[in-house]
Structure 1
């Protein structure tokens, strides 16, 4: 579908993931059984819908191919296909990470 997918998360949870060597997901990810990701054209909508008003957010760019078969494109919001990661997000798959959204 695309060669880069994205994860939006809080700065503190991202720092913990870096220390651990993998991102295991936030409460929503754990509840749903997969890590919610977005394609580039979905990031803005995800930010507005799920992170409105939050500060201290990080946008993580991930090499989709490095995730292998654990990455699945499945229908979600409005039937649109979204990338879902069934397993941890290894730091080796991360291309970049930086601040996104309103910052303090």
Structure 2
């Protein structure tokens, strides 16, 4: 059960639960949803969510994902990150952690 993480707002997560799947703006803009490994979450929060509130961390069981995910190189951070190529089905999210 490989686990990956995605940071979003509580409001976006609540909306996803209503429709049965989570879709971040990056899916339409870039074709995938940005995710992280556990050791990468702090850097993601620092780079992209500084000063933002009402954030949650989705804990995603990749064995339950119905969309394909792959690890891809990010030249801006010189690290490999998991990307989900499609919506994240709600039942793949095994935990939701409030961040602030």
Q: TM-score, length-normalised on structure 2?
A: 0.90
Q: Structure 1 residues 4 and 44 mapped into 2: Cα distance closer, same or farther (>3 Å)? A: same
Q: 2:70 is matched with which residue: 64, 69, 72?
A: 72
Q: Is 2:97 the partner of 1:94?
A: no
Unaligned runs of 5+ in 1: none
- Structure number with the higher helix fraction is 1
Residues matched between the structures, number:
99
Unaligned runs of 5+ in 2: none
- Structure number with the higher strand fraction is 2
Q: TM-score, length-normalised on structure 1?
A: 0.87
Spell out the pairing of 1:47-62 with structure 2 (5 A cutoff): 47-62=45-60
Whether the 8 Å contact between 2:67 and 2:86 is mirrored in structure 1 is no
Task: Spell out structure 1 runs of 4+ moving beyond 4 A.
Answer: none
Q: CA RMSD in A?
A: 1.6
